[in-house]
């Protein structure tokens, strides 16, 4: 039972990765990341693992933004995103659960 439960949860989250991308995008822009860079970043979810994806050529630029350099302060977007990830996952699961109940007319 629990294996089926977790598979269903993972599938629900995978189907809503666009929500997580929107959350990350907002955090990155608020943190001061350049819009053209943020537009090249994605969120990928496979088997319950969530990762920020990007072209390998952007790794150093992203690291410099996230952790800062000797001349620039850090602009933590990924760490802020990760710190609040549980809340965003819960939002997705609750919204999908409520949507499913309405589709099945549980409240009729």
Say which DSSP state 58 is in.
Answer: G
Look up the domain containing 73 and give its range.
2-103
Q: Bin 48: left if φ > 0, else alpha if -120 < ψ < 50, else beta.
A: left
Q: Which residue's structure tokens are 């496979």?
A: 46
- Tell me the whole-structure pTM to 2 decimals: 0.75
Kindly give the pairing relationship between strand 42-46 and strand 49-53: antiparallel
Q: Which residue's structure tokens are 């053209």?
A: 36
Q: Is the pLDDT of residue 108 over 60?
A: no
Backbone angles phi, psi at 54, to 5 degrees: -165, 165
Does residue 76 lie in a domain region?
Answer: yes
Does residue 108 lie in a domain region?
Answer: no
- Please give the tally of structural domains in the chain: 1
Residues 42-79: pLDDT tens digits?
988 776 678 889 999 999 999 999 999 999 999 999 99
Residues 14-33: pLDDT tens digits?
777 888 899 999 999 999 99
For residues 98 and 12, is the Cβ–Cβ distance under 8 A?
no
């Amino acid at each position: 039972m629990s294996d089926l439960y977790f598979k269903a949860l993972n599938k629900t989250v995978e189907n809503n990765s666009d929500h997580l991308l929107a959350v990350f995008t907002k955090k990155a822009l608020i943190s001061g990341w350049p819009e053209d860079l943020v537009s090249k970043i994605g969120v990928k979810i496979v088997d319950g693992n969530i990762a920020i994806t990007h072209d390998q050529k952007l790794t150093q630029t992203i690291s410099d933004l996230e952790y800062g350099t000797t001349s620039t302060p850090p602009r933590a977007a990924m760490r802020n995103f990760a710190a609040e990830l549980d809340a965003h996952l819960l939002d997705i699961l609750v919204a999908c659960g409520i949507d499913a109940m309405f589709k099945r007319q549980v409240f009729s």
